[in-house]
Amino acid sequence: MTTSSSKTRSNGRTKWLDLRVNGVAVQCADGGRVLDAVRDAGFEVPTLCYDERLGAQGTCRMCLVEVEVNGRVEQVASCTAFAEEGMDVATHTDEMRSYRKTLLEMLLSEMASPNNNPYSNKVGPTEFDRAVEEYEAKWDALPHLRPRVKAEHDENPFIQRDYDYCIACYRCTNICNDWEQAAAITVDGRGQDSSIFTFFGNELIDSPCTFCGQCINTCPTGALTDRKVVSQDISAEDVDRTQSVCPYCGVGCGIEILTHDGEIIGAEPDFTAASRGSLCVKGQFASWEFVRSEDRLRHPLIKQPGGTFRKASWDEALDLVSSKFKDAIADEGPDSVVCWASARVVTEANYLMQKFARVAVGTNNIDNCSRT
């Protein structure tokens, strides 16, 4: 499998192709896929097996479009087909719409209870939900097949697996094996019997799974969900999202902080950031509980004789701090004061901290923990 290079457009030598999508003129880099042209032209087709970080698979067939080039008309999966000069692309003809609806109804026929997906409403309308709604696909349009083999009982605290909602798109196994290269999960069986399994059918905690959560984030249906988030039983429409940056290592992966009613309830990757949707176990599962911890400091504290702390007002605490600093400066000179900034807080606070040392105290005794 290769990485998609169609998005690379910074190279001045790139040859550009002219296409039309539903009558809209669009340019696409030579070597780019039809799907890129469709999206650049402002149209959307469902792409249930596609993750831009992985090579196109072309297995779900939902992105099928009609193309006309040099007098020949074909139906192609837009994720795998290359763009060609002069190509005319039609995404939403009656035939294409009907085709997608049938495909969705085939997928629905494999599901135990699509309207009762207990997770869907908590993780928001999934890609699959949105496609079902757009194409008005019906659960009972086709005879029901035996549901997929269920995952083994798996009580890990991070990843919830419910393969009733699996559509065998294999995005989870591809992200795990090709992108993360963790090789924790694999496809077992063929066709209707295919299922997602760990090797030897063990629980994830006994597999090479690192709990990076990337399978959850690429899953288009809610078969894989963040147990910490869904267990809070909050409806997705009541969840707000704030783009930010993971508070752990120096990679600086983009995250979306999930909040409900003024409280932080989870985190997801920010796919628009330079990290391209990647997170590790800390960013996915450890980046928010500490924020709402009971152990957080809520008041300034002043130490009493005897060594215990008492609550204090900001006025009292800051008066004490400033008077002690002033005393030290007056008695021993500004170099008797030392300020240590933090590799954990925003740059703006660090800028103020060094300026505080240099301007308010009058010393260059400012350092941070870059050595430790």
Cα separation, 190 vs 238, whole angstroms:
39
| Least Å from the CB of residue 43 to another protein | 24
Amino acid at 326: K
Rg (CA), the chain: 27
Is the distance from CB of 277 to CB of 271 less than 8 angstroms?
yes
Which residues ranging from 230 to 269 are in contact with another protein (CB under 8 A)? 240, 242-254, 257, 259, 262-264
| Least Å from the CB of residue 81 to another protein | 24
Count of residues touching another protein (by CB under 8 A) = 117
Cα separation, 118 vs 221, whole angstroms:
12
* Main-chain dihedrals φ then ψ at residue 100, nearest 5 degrees: -65, -40
Is 362 a residue that touches another protein (CB under 8 A)?
yes
- Of 114, 74, 111, which Cα lies nearest the Cα of 90? 74
**Residue 16 or 290 having the CB closest to another protein:** 290
Which residues ranging from 128 to 157 are in contact with another protein (CB under 8 A)? 156-157
Which residues ranging from 265 to 324 are in contact with another protein (CB under 8 A)? 272-275, 278-282, 285-286, 288-293, 295-303, 309, 312, 314, 317-322, 324
Is the distance from CB of 96 to CB of 66 less than 8 angstroms?
yes
**Residue 41 or 159 having the CB closest to another protein:** 159
Cα separation, 54 vs 240, whole angstroms:
29
Is the distance from CB of 81 to CB of 34 less than 8 angstroms?
yes
Amino acid at 155: E
Which residues ranging from 192 to 211 are in contact with another protein (CB under 8 A)? 199-200, 202, 205-206, 208, 210-211
| Least Å from the CB of residue 307 to another protein | 9
| Least Å from the CB of residue 367 to another protein | 5
Cα separation, 37 vs 29, whole angstroms:
9
| Least Å from the CB of residue 46 to another protein | 26
DSSP H or E stretch at residue 354: helix 347-355
**Residue 116 or 242 having the CB closest to another protein:** 242
| Least Å from the CB of residue 83 to another protein | 23
